[in-house]
Amino acid sequence: MVKINPIKTKAIAFFCSFLILISGFASTTIVMADTNGNSPSIVCIDTPISNYKLSDNKLNVSGWSLDKSGVKGVQVSVDSGAAQNATIGQLRTDVDKFYPGYTGGKNSGYSASLDVSSLSTGAHTVTVKSAGNDGTVTSQNVVIYKVPVGSKNMPQYVDIDTPSNGFNLATTGTLNVAGWSLNGYGVQKVQVYVDNGNETDATIGLSRADVDKVFPGYATGKSSGYTASVTLPTLSDGIHTIKVVSIGNDGSQAVGTVNIKKVSEQSMPGRVCIDTLQNNSKVSSNEVNVAGWSLNVTGVKGVQISVDNGTAQNATIGQSRADVDRFYQGYTGGKNSGYSANLDVSSLSTGAHTVKVTSTGNDGVVTSQNVVIYKVPSGSKNMPQHVDIDTPSNGFNLATTGTLDVTGWSLNGYGVQKVQVYVDNGNETDATIGLSRPDVDKVFPGYDTGKSSGYTASVTLPTLSDGIHTIKVVSIGNDGSQAVATVNIKKVSEANMPGIVCIDSPSYSQTKDKQIDVRGWALDINGVTRVQVSIDNGAMQDATIGQSRPDIPKVYQGYNNEANSGYSTKVDISKLSIGVHTITVVSTGKDGTTAKNTTQIYVLPQTASDLSSMVCIDTPGNDAFIKAQDNLVNVIGWSLNAFGVQKVQVYVDNIYNGDATTGITRTDVDKVYPGYVGGVNSGYNYTINISSFSYGAHQISVRSLGNDGKVTNQDIVIYKVYNDTNIASKLVSFLSFQDNLNMAEGQAVQLHNGDFHNNCVYFSSSVLRDIGINVPISMANTEHYVPFITSLGWTKDYDINNLYPGNICFTVSDGTGYPTHTFIFMGWVNPFDHTLAYVADNQDNKIHVRSMIDAPGIDATSFEFHN
């Protein structure tokens, strides 16, 4: 018994697979080497390649064959028919270099020309058998397709005319399925399936001149029709699928499907449909046509139409509706199921009305359908809706009880029917509408009621607790549409109205001035007698009070003298040291109570500029690869603010992740950026767990909040990647240099014999060779490139959200089953919008932006490979 050496077996299988890859992925039979090192017999078909489409009457078969004892003869046959001797002994030094040591290796080529004029269109198997001088026989097969002379590669189509999608099937027995199918090489057969079974061959070649006009250029376009009378199996009530498969002479397939619904008679309810009036239709005329269709298994006796449950009007029935009968098969009178009536709606008021259509069957069963219509003024039109609340303002402080005046304006192109006011979604009050508002009409011209768009309501308030309450105004148009506006008010009782002091200026300012203006406003329920200002708890300085502040009463109601609550003073800061100083403002009420507020200023040297807030992420770097096995990412950096940093927050993909640890020593930062409060301890760190993150791009944002309220951020993008990403890293590193891009482009053009077009595979494979991956130099198209990359053990992924730099991408199919383009992904233009990417390919001599979705002249990305 011969023992097989597994190591040599793998080596031989690899080299043979390599040559087969180049010649078209044909199947081969190999006699393996034994443990004594004897070489196997090999036969390879170079031409034709697998799935070759042949329209000639001659078929040229060529390739090479090896046997340790020498090749005695090669025979070629089709479909296991009569074999023809091939001419052997042809020069093949390339084979001899790859497989040295075989007798006759330099002359291992063979060729034969076969007469295939008698072959039918469709699939055929070409077999090549090689006999060695020692009697060993080796064979290889390829499948080819005989196609008509003059045929060509064109898009495939198959369409189902009948039954239509959603067709209701009430009968059993047979179902007629008809349509058309096109294939550039001609259609061999069309098969019909019911729920993926019950196969029926359709009759093809039926006249379809209409299809030929829409899709010209197909040899069989005028005879592209098919029909099949399908004997139905026993079908349960419910959805079933009719599938039509068109098989071309080239073996390719096109598939069309429709869903039909099987219903038994007892499952055939009465039906009525209103076609001419859609729900929420707007009617401005005095007459409206109501038309549609009605079905009953015993036939329809009559159809009546009413408005708002008023007097019913008989509709005209029995009108032709063949479309309904096709969709709902089995109803009595289905082909004449239409009805129509003209309704007089001149007396209807503006606003909502219900139109009801009632159908009565011969069996007495009543079916109805309602639609709501809106009567609108004649000449009105669709324009944007608006509603606005002038008073109260948002944040208004309510100290009194009883009533609240709510005023504003509202616009609707069809006119405003009413305006309603709610307090906390209850306590509904109808507003008075139609008030003069010429100011609104000037800003929003063109509305019929623009000049009278105002409203007002005196709202009786319920008992309100102290706190926030919502005033909601709803404007309802004559067309039923609504516009909503809300404001929040704050109810405060006298006992809960403490003194308030606010500093408008300065507010955490940086200054070189010798004097600053301190101004703001102060409130006390009994009135303010005094406002004083101090710096760093030093001597108090009186401010001027009683200044006009008309904005304050809009927000704070119930205080004493809100409209004159302003204060201001000028403070000498010429003797203050450089750095941060605290300004304190104290307001004293007539009852002796005080209110206090503080702010800070930063006194700058006369030669210095403002100290800008800064935040920096030291690690990880932008576009860093984070391997899934690592799980944790340490975010480390520093943050500065002239007044000190309050906190540092970390966000991932714009979602808050947590607060960083701050106060970490960073003397290096303080040396470079001196003068900041807390500069010596400006460091931060934070750890992110990425175990639950999806693969691909994620944005890390670090937001630093200063004591002055200023927020500063920095964003970086990281990529969660698979654990083995060495090749992707090498690709990114290699393509980051312009010289390497130029070199790869030059290699691609050279491999394509100087042609600058259609070089995407040449470019991509050249880059892989440049980083050490042995790609055959004959690699020229995606048909062979995709299986080659698959053979490297890379992972194929159809989710572009998992992309990371260095992945090799492929676009959608060109109609032959193979991608139209390939490129190397280098990163997202926007990590939150995966429509544009930076890529490297033959279409530009630099890293450039490409759409990842369908765009003019660009095919969408279908899948990617990552290692």
What DSSP line would sit under 249-303, residue for residue? TTS-EEEEEEEEEE--GGG---EEEE-S--TTEEE-SSEEEEEEEEE-TT-EEEE
Q: Which residue has the tokens 């048909």?
A: 783
Mean pLDDT computed over every residue of the chain: 90
Q: Is a pLDDT exceeding 70 seen at residue 279?
A: yes
Q: Are 77 and 84 in contact (CB under 8 A)?
A: yes
Considering the domain 268-375 in this protein, what is its CATH number? Answer: 2.60.40.650
Residue from 598, 578, 588, 589 nearest 534 by CA: 598
Structure tokens at 448: 């019929």
Q: Are 141 and 88 in contact (CB under 8 A)?
A: no
Residue from 828, 826, 819, 831 nearest 862 by CA: 819
CA distance linking residue 168 with residue 259, whole number of Å: 9
- From the number of C-beta atoms within 10 Å of its C-beta (0-12, 13-18, 19+), residue 306 rates as middle
Q: Is a pLDDT exceeding 80 seen at residue 604?
A: yes
Residue from 809, 807, 793 nearest 866 by CA: 807
Q: Is a pLDDT exceeding 90 seen at residue 237?
A: no
Q: Are 771 and 731 in contact (CB under 8 A)?
A: yes
User: What are the residues whose beta carbons fall under 8 Å from the beta carbon of 362, sequence distance 6 or more?
Assistant: 296, 298, 299, 300, 301, 332
Average pLDDT over residues 294-322: 94
Q: What percent of the chain has pLDDT over 70?
A: 94
Average pLDDT over residues 554-559: 80
Paired residues of 569 in beta bridges: 518
User: What are the residues whose beta carbons fall under 8 Å from the beta carbon of 78, sequence distance 6 or more?
Assistant: 59, 114, 116, 119, 124, 125, 126, 127
Average pLDDT over residues 116-125: 92
Q: What is the pLDDT of residue 340?
A: 96
Q: What is the pLDDT of residue 266?
A: 66
Considering the domain 726-866 in this protein, what is its CATH number? Answer: 3.90.1720
Average pLDDT over residues 240-259: 94
Q: Where in the chain is the domain with CATH 2.60.40.10?
A: 497-603, 614-721
Q: What is the pLDDT of residue 172?
A: 67
CA distance linking residue 71 with residue 73, whole number of Å: 6
- pLDDT tens across 708-717, in order? 999 999 999 9
Q: What is the pLDDT of residue 400?
A: 67
Q: Are 300 and 359 in contact (CB under 8 A)?
A: yes
Q: 323-327, 538-542, 806-810, 841-845: which range is least confident on average?
A: 323-327
Q: 126-130, 685-689, 799-803: which range is least confident on average?
A: 799-803
CA distance linking residue 139 with residue 129, whole number of Å: 4
Q: What is the CA radius of gyration of the chain?
A: 42
Residue spans of beta strands (DSSP E) within 478-575: 482-491, 500-505, 509-511, 515-523, 528-535, 541-542, 544-547, 566-572
Q: Is a pLDDT exceeding 60 seen at residue 199?
A: yes
Give the pLDDT band of residue 401 (cuts 50, 70, 90): low
Q: What is the pLDDT of residue 490?
A: 83
Q: What is the pLDDT of residue 15?
A: 43
Q: How far apart are the first and last CA of the chain?
A: 42
User: Taking CA 509 as the corner, what is the angle to CA 504 and CA 514, rounded to the nearest 5 degrees?
Assistant: 100
CA distance linking residue 636 with residue 624, whole number of Å: 14
Average pLDDT over residues 748-757: 92
- pLDDT tens across 758-774, in order? 999 999 999 999 998 98
Average pLDDT over residues 820-833: 93
Q: 266-280, 348-362, 436-450, 699-713: which range is least confident on average?
A: 266-280
CATH superfamily of 614-721: Immunoglobulins (2.60.40.10)
Structure tokens at 130: 């090689």
Q: Is a pLDDT exceeding 60 seen at residue 485?
A: yes
Q: Is the peptide bond before 856 cis (omega within 30 degrees of 0)?
A: no
Average pLDDT over residues 444-473: 91
At the topology level, CATH places domain 386-491 in Immunoglobulin-like (2.60.40)
At the topology level, CATH places domain 6-146 in Immunoglobulin-like (2.60.40)
Give the pLDDT band of residue 456 (cuts 50, 70, 90): very high
Q: Is a pLDDT exceeding 70 seen at residue 12?
A: no
210: left (phi over 0), alpha (psi -120 to 50) or beta: alpha
Q: Are strands 174-182 and 225-231 parallel, antiparallel or unpaired?
A: antiparallel
CA distance linking residue 31 with residue 136, whole number of Å: 8
Q: Is a pLDDT exceeding 80 seen at residue 399?
A: no
Report the 10 Å Cβ neighbour count for 477: 24
Q: What is the pLDDT of residue 33?
A: 38
Give the pLDDT band of residue 27 (cuts 50, 70, 90): very low
Average pLDDT over residues 461-475: 90
At the topology level, CATH places domain 497-603 in Immunoglobulin-like (2.60.40)
Average pLDDT over residues 497-521: 94
Helix axes 760-770, 782-791, angle to 10 degrees: 30
Q: Domain 157-265, what architecture?
A: Sandwich (2.60)
Q: Is a pLDDT exceeding 70 seen at residue 32?
A: no
Q: What is the pLDDT of residue 740?
A: 92
Length of the chain: 867
CA distance linking residue 337 with residue 330, whole number of Å: 12
Q: Are 834 and 800 in contact (CB under 8 A)?
A: yes
Q: Where in the chain is the domain with CATH 2.60.40.650?
A: 6-146, 157-265, 268-375, 386-491
Give the pLDDT band of residue 664 (cuts 50, 70, 90): very high
Looking at per-residue pLDDT, the higher value among 451 and 403 belongs to 451
Q: What is the pLDDT of residue 742?
A: 94
Q: What is the pLDDT of residue 626?
A: 86
- From the number of C-beta atoms within 10 Å of its C-beta (0-12, 13-18, 19+), residue 161 rates as middle
Q: Is a pLDDT exceeding 60 seen at residue 37?
A: no
